[in-house]
Amino acid sequence: MSAVPIPYFLMLAAALFATGAVGFLLRRNLLVILMSIELMLNSVNLTLVAFNRMHGGDQNGQILAFFVIAIAAAEAAVGLAIVLAFFRLRGSVRSDEANTLRN
């Protein structure tokens, strides 16, 4: 069984990151924006693990990917709490209505 070449992982990570960036820039739903950020962070994790596979002697890519996963979990928890509070206040999760919180 042959191993999958590193450029395939990098192309997949680039496609995932581009999908997340497009979702972040074009969508107005806060939940979709949070999922797009998670998708971009997971593509970074895939890149880190792929480069770690290329340099097999050390585990720096794996360790950094673990920290990115921890940051992504904290971001998801805090982001979801903010979205729930915003929904209770405004009854909507559209990012266009967030500027009305200043009044």
- Residue that has been written with the tokens 């970074």 in this structure: 44
Fold of domain 6-92: Helix Hairpins (1.10.287)
- Kindly indicate the confidence band of residue 96, based on its pLDDT and cuts at 50, 70 and 90: confident
Backbone torsion region of residue 53, taken as left when φ is above 0, otherwise alpha when ψ lies between -120 and 50, otherwise beta: alpha
pLDDT, position 1:
43
pLDDT, position 98:
77
Mean pLDDT on 76-84:
92
pTM of the model: 0.85
What would the pLDDT profile of 52-78 be if each residue is shown by its tens digit?
Answer: 988 877 888 899 999 999 999 999 999
pLDDT at 83 over 50: yes
**What is the SS3 string spanning the chain?**
CCCCCHHHHHHHHHHHHHHHHHHHHHCCEHHHHHHHHHHHHHHHHHHHHHHHHHCCCCCHHHHHHHHHHHHHHHHHHHHHHHHHHHHHHHCCCEHHHHHHHHC
